[in-house]
Structure 1
Amino acid sequence: MNRSLCLSMLALLALAPAVQAADLLVDNVNGYTLDSHGKLQHFQALLVDQGKVVATGSRAELAGRAGDARVIDGRGHTLLPGLIDAHGHVLELSYARNSVDLTGTKSLDEALAKVKAYAAAHPEAKWILGGGWNQEIWKLGRFPTAKELDSAVPGRPVWLSRVDGHASWANSAAIRLAGVDRASKDPSGGRIERDADGNPAGVFVDGATALIDAKVPAPTTQQKAAALDTALAEMASVGLTGVADAGIDLANYRLYRRYADEHKLTARIYAMVRDTGDDFDTISKDGPLIGYGNDFLTVRAVKLFADGALGSRGAAMLQPYADDPHNRGLLFMPPATMTAKIDKAFGKGYQVAIHAIGDRANREVLDSFAAAYKTHPDAIALRNRVEHAQIVSLQDIPRFVPLKLIASMQPTHATSDMNMAEDRIGHQRIKGAYAWQRFLKQGTLVAGGSDFPVESPNPFYGLYSAVTREDHQGQPPGGWYPDQDMTLAQALRAFTLDAAYAEHAEKTLGTLEPGRWADFILIDHDIFKDPASRIWNTKVLQTWVGGRQVYAAQD
C-alpha cells in the first residue's frame, strides 16, 4: 500500500464516528434540554456512561456510537432534564401526607368533619396532627377558634398548621397542655390570637407556634426514615430529581448522610441548615459538605427567617395591611441579629438563604446582606439567596443586582394567593409582588421551587403557574397580572439550570450536556407544542437519576 493511500484511509477513519464507552442509550425520544447558556436544544437520543451524559443527538448518530450499551426505547415520548425544586421541605411532605390533610377544604364545617373522622380512625394517636387549612378559601373572614375545633375532638390535643406553615390552630386540650392562658405574652416574632377577653382564641402565628410545638412528641428515628422513603417516592413520581431542603436540623442531616452512604437517596438533596445555633455548630465543624455520595448530598447553606407569611398576616410590611390597618406583620429578629447570623454563616463558608415575604422583611434582608458584605466581601460570591422575595418595594428590586442575590421564588404561590393578596396589600404594592419578569429583566436569576408541602411538589404545577398565572380552571382568563408571566423556556430554566446554579451545581446538574449527571424524565406529551393549559396535567412516565431508573408509572 502506497503512502498516499494509507494517509487517506487514516483520514477517513478519523472522520468516522467512534464507538464510545457507554452503558445506556435512551433512543427514540422527543428530547429537550437547555444548554449552559440557556438556549433550548432538541434531540432524538441520549447516550449515558457511568451515570453521566456522553452526548445527545440524532438516533442515527448515537446508535453508531453506542457500542453494546443497553438500549431503552423512549417510544417517542418527550424527554426533559430532571426538574429541581429550589425550595421544599422533604420530611414535612411525608408528615403532611400521613396526618389530617385539610388542603382544598371549602368550608370550616368540611374541615371539622375531616378532623373528626381522622380522630375516630386513629384512636391510638395521642395527638391529632395535620394541616393545610386556609380560612380565606373558607370565606370565614377570621381565623377559626379552639372552641370550633373542640366540637370535632374535645379530649385529645389537636394541632393543625395553616397552609403556609406560618400559623397553627389548636383545640383547648392542646392549649391547656402547653400552659398558655390569658397571662401568656406574645413571644418575639409571634402572635397569640385572642378572644374579646384576651384568652387564647386557638390560632398561634409564627413564633408563637413554638409554645405548642414544644409539647408535640418528636418523631422517632424510624418514623423519620419512613417519612424520607415516602417523600422520595412522591418526588420521583412527579419528576423531581433534586430539591433544596429549606431548613434541616442535626437529626435530618444525619439521616441524609446515612441514606447517602447506603445509596438510598433517589433525588439529590441540597440541604440548608436551619439557623446558626447548636445544630449548625455541629454540622459545620468540618466546613460545608459538598457533593457527598456522588453528588447526592450537599450541605453548604444556612436558612434564616425574616418574617412570616401573607395569608396569616405575619409578613412584615413597610405600611399597614390594607385589610388590617393596625397590623404591619412580624419581623422575627432585629437587623443587628440578622447581620450577626449572616456573618457567622459567612465565616464558615456557607451560602445564606433568607425567608422574606413582606416588603419590610425584604428590605431588612437586603440591608443585612449589604452590612455583612462589609465584613466578608468575598461572600458576595456565595450566591446568596432571598427565599420567596414575594412582596418587594419597587425601589428595592434593583438592589438585588449589586448584592448579587438570587431570587428563589415559587410560582404557585402567586396563583394560590391571588384570591387574597391584593386585599392584603392594595393595588400599588402588588406591583412588586410575585414580580418574576421585573427580576428577570434586570438580570437577577430566579430559582424555581414550590415550598412543598405548602404547595404541591409537582413541578409541572409550578411551570404552569409561571407561564399562565391562572388556576387549574383557567381563571382568571389571560392570567393574574400577566405582564409578569414567564415564557416556558424561562420557567424550565428556573426549575433546571438556574435551580442548579443556586446550589453551585450548574456544571453537573440542570442540563443534559456532556459530563452532566444523567438526571432526566420522560413525560406523556410535548409541553413546548401543546397548549399551555395542559402543562399542569402532565404525567411523568419515568424518572432517572444518575442513569438509574427510580420511577416508572403504572400502565
Structure 2
Amino acid sequence: MKFLTSTFCTIALSLLLLNGCKIATKEYGTMLIHGGPIYTVDSLQTTVEAVVTKDSIILYAGKLEEAEKYKNEQTQVIDLEGKTMTPGLIEGHGHFMGLGYNELELDLINTTSYQEIVDAVAEKVKTVAPGEWILGAGWHQSKWDSLPVDAVNGFQRHDLLSAATPNNPVFLSHASGHAGFANAKAMEIAGIEILPKDGIDKLQVEGGEVMRDELGRPTGIFNERAQGLIWQHVPESTPEQNNKAFELAVAACHRNGITGFHDAGIGRETIALYEQMKTADKMKVRLYGMLTGRDKELLGEWYEKGPLVDPDNLVTIRSVKLNCDGALGSRGAWLLEPYTDRPGHFGHETLPMEMVLETALNGLRKGFQVCSHAIGDRANKEILDRYETAFKELPDLKTDHRFRIEHAQHLHPDDIPRFAQLGVIPAMQAIHLSSDRSWAIDRLGEKRIKEGAYMWQALLKSGIPIVNGTDVPVEPLNPIASLYASISRKTLKGLPEDGYEPEQKMTREQALKSYTLDAAYGAFEESIKGTITAGKLADFTIYNQDIMTIPEDEFLKTEIAMTIFDGKVVFKKDE
C-alpha cells in the first residue's frame, strides 16, 4: 500500500511538473497587429481582428481577445489606427533587375512627345563623357500627344535625337521592352548601314526588324530580336552597378507593398548575384525566378540538377521563361490576322514553336514549370497547341504542371476555354489595359478587341486563376494602379465612365486574390503565402484606406502605409 501511494504521488508530481513546463513554454508572439480591417484572402475566415506572428511565421489570426493571450513584454504591438492590412502583395510578372536599372538610367515612362525624349537625353549628355553610352527606357509613341509628321510605320526617326547627341551612342528601350531606339552614333558603332543597292540586306533578323524609311535608311527603330544588333555593343554592367540596381529594386518593392516577385527571365549572372545577396542577408524580397529560355546551355545545366526550392523561401528557381512574340505597341505581337493599322503585317514569331514543345516536354520530365510570353492571338494559340501536345505525349507527368502563359493579352475566342481545360495559368497584367486599350483598338480593330482582349472575367469564370502584376519596368511597379485597372477597366484618368468592356471587370475580391493567393498558386507557393493564415509566412501589406470598400473614384488615392516582410517592418511611409 505504501508503494502504491508513493507511486501515485510520484506520478501526480510528475504531471504537475509537466503541466508547469507547458505553461512556462507557452508560445508568445514577437508581433501583434490589430486596430483596422484585416482581409485574409482565406475562405475559412475572410476577415480577422488581429494577427500574431512568431518571428517569420503567422502564429494566430482571429479575435483580438484571443490574440492578446500571445502577448508578453517583448511582443511588438502595431496598432493599425484604422488602416487596412492584407497578405503581402506578389508581383506576378516583372523584371527585378530591370526595375533597379530603371532607377539608375533615364526613365522616359512619363514622356508625352518625341521632343521630351530628345530634351531628356540632351540633359544627360551634359553629365557624361564623350563616347559614353546613354541608356534609358519607358518611351511609348502611342502614348504621346502626337507623332512626328515624318513617322515611319508609326515610329519616329532618329535624326532629331542624333543631332542632339553627336558624340555619345544612345539606345532607348521601348516601354514594352520589345523595341529600341538608337541614335546615329550607336548605329555607326554597330555597323548599321543604308540598304545596299544590290538589294541584299545583311541586317535581316529572324524574329525582328531593322526599320527603314522609303530610301532604305535605318530610322533608328530596332524591333524585337533586331535589338541584339545594338545591345551586343553596349558595355556590360559593373558589379557595383548591379549591386546598386539590386538594392534600389528591393527598396522599390518595399515602398510598393511588394513582398514577393516573379522574375520573368533570368540568366546565370543574375542567379549568381541573387545567391550573393542572399548570403549577405540582403535578400528582403521573395524571388521566384524563371530561367531565360534564350540560354539553352543554362537550361541543360538546370535540367540535370533539377529545380531549386529554397527552404528559406527567398530565392526559388523552378520555371523556364520563353519569349514567343512581341508586343502590341511595337506591332510585334504575333497575330492570326494582319494588324488593322499596318496591313499585311502579322507581327513576329520570336521563338520557333519547336522550342516551345521541346521545353514543355523537358519541363514535364525534369519538374520545371514553363512560362511562355504570348501577347498576340496566334502566339497564344500556338503555345496552347504545343502544351497540349506535350501533355498528351507524357500524360503521367502532366499532373499539377501549372504551365503558364505570360500576358495572354489577346486571345481568339476559341482559345479562352482551353486555359482551364489544359490547366494553363494566364499571368495577365491588368495595368496594360489602362495603358494600352485606348490605342490597342487601332492595332486590332473593334471586333478582335471586344471578343478576345483582356478577357479577365471570362477566364476566371472558366475556372482558372489569374496571376496579376505590372511587368515592371514596362509599367511602374505600383500595385494600386493595377488593382484599379482590374476592378474598373479604365485608364488612370478614369476613362471611359463605365470602363472598357465592363463585363470583363474583376470583383475586388478577385483582384486582391490575383495579387496574393492566385499569384502564390502560380508559383506553387500557396501553402506558405498568399493568405493570412496560421503557419504561413509573416508578409503583409498595409494601406492608408480600405481598398475593399472605398468608392472607385477614391481608389487611386490609396497609398502603401507599411510593408512587413518576414515578420519585420521594412517600410513605413512616415519614416
TM > 0.5 fold call: yes
Tell me the residue number matched to 1:419: 438
* 1:196 counterpart (207, 211, 214): 214
The alignment's TM-score, normalised by the length of structure 2, stands at: 0.90
Q: Residue 265 of structure 1 aligns to a residue in which SS?
A: coil
1:169 counterpart = 2:169: no
Tell me the residue number matched to 2:8: none
* 1:180 counterpart (172, 192, 204): 192
What amino acid is the match of 2:225? G
* 1:309 counterpart (311, 321, 327): 327
Contact 1:31 1:44 in 2 (8 A): yes
What amino acid is the match of 2:166? P
1:371 counterpart = 2:389: yes
What amino acid is the match of 1:194? R
Q: CA offset at residue 283 of structure 1?
A: 4.1
Query: In 1, Cα distance between the equivalents of 2:561 and 2:461?
Result: 35
Tell me the residue number matched to 1:449: 469
1:55 counterpart = 2:67: no
Tell me the residue number matched to 1:300: 318
1:546 counterpart = 2:566: yes
Query: In 1, Cα distance between the equivalents of 2:547 and 2:262?
Result: 25
Tell me the residue number matched to 1:318: 336
What amino acid is the match of 1:117? E
Q: 1:102-501 alignment to 2 at 5 Å?
A: 102-123=108-129, 126-138=132-144, 139-140=146-147, 142-181=154-193, 182=195, 183-275=201-293, 277-292=296-311, 294-377=312-395, 378-430=397-449, 431-501=451-521
Q: CA offset at residue 352 of structure 1?
A: 0.2
What amino acid is the match of 1:99? E
Query: In 2, Cα distance between the equivalents of 1:30 and 1:398?
Result: 36
After superposition, the C-alpha distances for 1:254-301 in whole angstroms (9 at most, x for unaligned) are: 111222222211110000000051222334442111024x20111000
Q: CA offset at residue 480 of structure 1?
A: 1.2
Divergent runs of 4+, >4 A = none
What amino acid is the match of 2:537? W
Structure 1 stretch displaced more, 388-397 or 23-32: 23-32
After superposition, the C-alpha distances for 1:379-412 in whole angstroms (9 at most, x for unaligned) are: 3522010000000000111111221100100000
Q: 1:32-43 alignment to 2 at 5 Å?
A: 32-35=39-42, 37=43, 41-43=46-48
Aligned length: 539
Question: Is the radius of gyration larger for structure 1 or structure 2?
Answer: 2
What amino acid is the match of 2:348? L
* 2:523 counterpart (481, 503, 508): 503
What amino acid is the match of 1:171? N
Query: In 1, Cα distance between the equivalents of 2:131 and 2:344?
Result: 40
Contact 1:464 1:533 in 2 (8 A): no
Contact 2:38 2:86 in 1 (8 A): yes
Q: 1:88-99 alignment to 2 at 5 Å?
A: 88-99=94-105
Query: In 1, Cα distance between the equivalents of 2:46 and 2:26?
Result: 23
CA distance 1:40–1:163, shift in 2 (3 Å): farther
Query: In 2, Cα distance between the equivalents of 1:218 and 1:271?
Result: 22
* 1:65 counterpart (50, 66, 70): 70
The alignment's TM-score, normalised by the length of structure 1, stands at: 0.94
What amino acid is the match of 1:376? L
1:75 counterpart = 2:89: no
Q: Which runs of 5+ in 1 are unaligned?
A: 1-5
What amino acid is the match of 1:273? L
Tell me the residue number matched to 1:3: none
Q: CA offset at residue 514 of structure 1?
A: 0.6
Query: In 2, Cα distance between the equivalents of 1:471 and 1:426?
Result: 19
What amino acid is the match of 2:560? V
What amino acid is the match of 1:421? A
* 1:525 counterpart (545, 554, 575): 545
CA distance 1:92–1:243, shift in 2 (3 Å): same
* 1:24 counterpart (16, 24, 31): 31
Contact 2:179 2:330 in 1 (8 A): yes
Percentage identity across aligned positions? 37
Q: CA RMSD in A?
A: 1.9
Tell me the residue number matched to 2:6: none
Contact 1:306 1:355 in 2 (8 A): yes
Q: Residue 43 of structure 1 aligns to a residue in which SS?
A: strand
Q: CA offset at residue 40 of structure 1?
A: 6.5
Structure 1 stretch displaced more, 372-381 or 266-275: 372-381
Query: In 1, Cα distance between the equivalents of 2:126 and 2:160?
Result: 17
Q: CA offset at residue 554 of structure 1?
A: 2.6
Query: In 1, Cα distance between the equivalents of 2:383 and 2:133?
Result: 37
Query: In 1, Cα distance between the equivalents of 2:368 and 2:525?
Result: 15
CA distance 1:281–1:222, shift in 2 (3 Å): farther
CA distance 1:389–1:515, shift in 2 (3 Å): same
